[in-house]
């Protein structure tokens, strides 16, 4: 007797649509934005949604281009099972039409990204990542670079909250 194998589950409507582009932006692209990228990649990986998103990070400054994320941030993320694979790069005007959402960590970087948008044909929605926080009521993700180890864990707590809210919002938007 032969049995036919079960059919694979139908892909979700989220995965069938064009991937949504997400770009996280901070100052040097070695602490907050690569951590946000890693957290978001981790979350979509847990839900099997890797094909539904294109995720990257960048900095408004250029002084760390080509470097890995800060070792302290990589260590804090690793303790949570989160990989930070990116290399620092500077945001370009092309990013503002290549990505659907450009999400910044603080007011300074939001202003810088909006300043770039004036120079080019921006189609991305530009705004602060913290607008997606569910548990924390904050306006900015603080830069942990000059602080102690606890600052990196605090940033990851905020990013996990904001990235979780972002993913929920994007899933709801695509489902409707």
- Annotation says 62 is catalytic: no
In a domain, 84, yes or no: yes
Domain count along the chain:
1
- 38-51 residue pLDDT tens: 999 999 999 999 99
Q: Where are the alpha helices (DSSP H) in 17-106?
A: 32-46, 71-78, 95-98
Which structural domain, as residue segments, surrounds residue 78?
17-175
Asked if residue 99 belongs to a domain, the reply is yes
To the query of whether residue 26 is one of the catalytic residues in this protein, the response is yes
143 is known as an active-site residue: yes
Nearest to 131 by CA among 142, 121, 119, 140: 140
**Looking at the domain assignment, is residue 8 inside a domain?**
no
What CATH number has the domain bearing residue 48? 3.40.50.2300
Residue 121 belongs to a domain? yes
Residue 158 lies in a domain: yes
**pLDDT of 6 above 50:** no
40: left (phi over 0), alpha (psi -120 to 50) or beta: alpha
- Domain-located, residue 79: yes
pLDDT at 98: 96
Active-site residue, from 26, 31, 133, 163:
26
pTM of the model: 0.89
Q: Which of 95, 106, 143, 161 is catalytic?
A: 143
Give pLDDT tens digits for 67-96: 999 999 999 999 999 999 999 999 999 999
């Amino acid at each position: 007797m032969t049995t036919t194998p079960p059919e694979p589950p139908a892909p979700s409507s989220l995965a069938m649509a064009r991937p949504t582009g997400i770009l996280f932006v901070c100052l040097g692209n070695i602490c907050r934005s690569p951590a946000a990228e890693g957290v978001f990649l981790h979350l979509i990986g847990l839900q099997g949604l890797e094909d539904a998103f294109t995720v990257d990070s960048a900095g408004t400054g250029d002084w760390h281009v080509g470097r890995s994320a800060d070792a302290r941030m990589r260590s804090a993320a690793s303790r949570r099972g989160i990989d930070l694979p990116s290399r620092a790069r500077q945001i370009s005007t092309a990013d503002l039409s290549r990505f659907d959402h450009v999400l910044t960590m603080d007011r300074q970087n939001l202003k810088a990204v909006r300043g770039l948008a004036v120079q080019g044909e921006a189609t991305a929605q530009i705004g602060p990542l913290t607008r997606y926080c569910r548990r924390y009521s904050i306006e900015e993700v603080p830069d942990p670079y000059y602080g102690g180890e606890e600052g990196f864990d605090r940033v990851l707590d905020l990013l996990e909250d904001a990235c979780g809210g972002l993913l929920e919002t994007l899933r709801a938007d695509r489902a409707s």
